[in-house]
Structure 1
Amino acid sequence: MEAAAVIGDATGRCRVHMTVSVDHLAQFEAAVAAARQNHEDRLGIRFEVSLSVQAASSDTVAADLDNTPLRDAQGRLVFRPGGHGALLENLNNLEGDVVFVKNIDNVAPESLNGPTVQWKRVLAGCLVTVQQEVRRYMKALHRGDGEAAVVAALAFLHDTCGEALPPVLADGSLTARRDFAVEHLDRPIRVCGMVPNQGEPGGGPFWVRNAGGERRRQIVETAQVDKSAREQMDMLAAATHFNPVDLVCGLRNWRDEPFDLRRFADPDSVFVSKKSYAGRPVKALEHPGLWNGGMARWLSLFVEVPPETFNPVKTVNDLLGSQHRPDAG
């Protein structure tokens, strides 16, 4: 199985966390127990599986298409889950070190795990390499190393991490430039696999300029795009890559302390999506997506991975694809 091959440690332990619906928590607990019994001896691994649910406090009020707050038959306001961005709190509570994030709808049969496992390891290797560089620069900057260390740290931020350096920084004092480097290096890191765009519905990697004028690498969902803006729609149509939700995240700082991930989200990047309630279309306000606005201020690297690593099941018809039918060959 994919997790056993990628994150099983030297002691034979494999730690997995899943977020599930509170309505189905008991069923998931039973399924996990059965899966452990079926696979641990076969794989020579010991699974440590934890489950969490999206906090009810993160639910948002639904609305009719005319933006009137939605009410049920008893006149009570209807609340809906606030989207996967609400799971930032769950991720934060893990206080993990290196965490692989993946959507449950991108799962291939075990026979096709080869490329997925290989590229998961590549992404993890990229993360560790960047982490080592960040920690080296942070130690040098905190030691008070001179001009050469500051110049090297800023070059790394720009060339590797894609961080825009404001023009005024070039004329700034050594202290100002060091402070800028420290502030922008001391962040969570994510390495995101991106597949060539083959027309799947969903988001992709873009350069985004925020309200403060900073240009950063971001994953943009279709729901975040202004459909009335021709320029935005043209950029979306011309996108070369697609986000399969294949991330490796470094959640600890250079002192090995867990980041408070909430500090690095963009609270203004909420968006409205179309959902349904009791057979009628409604609007739902969603928190900044977990890998969208939820990670807006992270250090972000995008790595192209082959299409073979992406085996989505968005609708029941996707199960008819050869990659999901063991007898299709």
Structure 2
Amino acid sequence: MADEFESEHSENGGEGGPVKSFIDHLEDLRWVLIKSTVTLTVAMLICLVAGNYVVDVLKWPLTRAKVSYPGTNQVVTVAFGTNKLGTFQLTADQKRSIDLGTNRFVAVEVAPVALGTNQVLGWKLSPDVELAESAQKLKIDLINLSPAGGFFVAFQVALYGGTLLAAPFIFYFVISFIFPALKMREQKYVYRAIFFGGGLFLAGVSFCYFALMPVALSASQMYSNWLGFGATQWRAEDYISFICKFMLGMGLGFELPVVLLTLVKIGVLNYRTLRAMWRYMIVIVLVLGGLLTTPEVITQVMMAVPLYGLYEISVWIAWYWDQPDRAKARRRLIAGFVTLVFVLYVAWKYGWPWLISHLHA
């Protein structure tokens, strides 16, 4: 009898923990809430104490953003000693008359020049490459416009930073509460989802922080100048809120494969259905790009492209799960991946036009 019970228990996947009463579950939930609250409070206090370092991290994309100059006019940075007087764009006639070389970004130094017994100001071409290229850097000052502005910024830094810092621990507490109700096989799937979901979330946040944010900030400044508004100062609380929400949205957007593959596993979708959704998925990723990024095309497309790539990866994984011969399917996937990497490398090294022309040849 015991053997039959163990066999049936094993076939059903096994329960993850002992059976508890409703009161015991409430007690466990109470401790989960207490531990989560304490963890979040401690994390917020840590971020509050280290607020200046957190702000420096959040300001990094702003230092990487570049100014977009329309046309091909030469851009001249004028300096006097250690002070930068301004940046100017030369017209074609001015460029020919002054002749500052062929580089688009140049720097000139204003210095006293002896003219007989008189001292006049003259200029000379500066060899300082860093000074010349400083014209491309976005110069935005983050300011507070109210006496309480600093407190709001500190609270935002503590809230967003503390939430991010405490999230793994809170997630662990919640999973520890749920796991006893799951079967062994279900726990295995949860472990995989946590691993890949966490990795994808970090990948989305990193992609946003290092690649997308500088472009978005540059585009924001460009549109402000195009509309005729000055874009030299931003409110600090608005900037921090924008940065944190943007990165959070990108991290959540990169969870798309976890959602799709979970639906495949539970039988809501399959490979054929997922493959047939590609037209709708293009619209979905573009809509997500519009909702989670700034309202301009460049950053929307930059987000939509990796999201669609993640969708394609999900399709191939679903195809792999659908194959009866997994070993053969694995070899085909590896061959396809190697081919894709090779094509991307050739396109990066020689350019897409060269690659397309040789493919048609």
TM-score normalised according to structure 1 size: 0.24
Q: Which entry has the higher C-alpha Rg, 1 or 2?
A: 2
Q: Quick check: which one's strand share is greater?
A: 1
Q: Quick check: which one's helix share is greater?
A: 2
Q: Which has the higher contact order (CA 8 A, sep 6+)?
A: 1
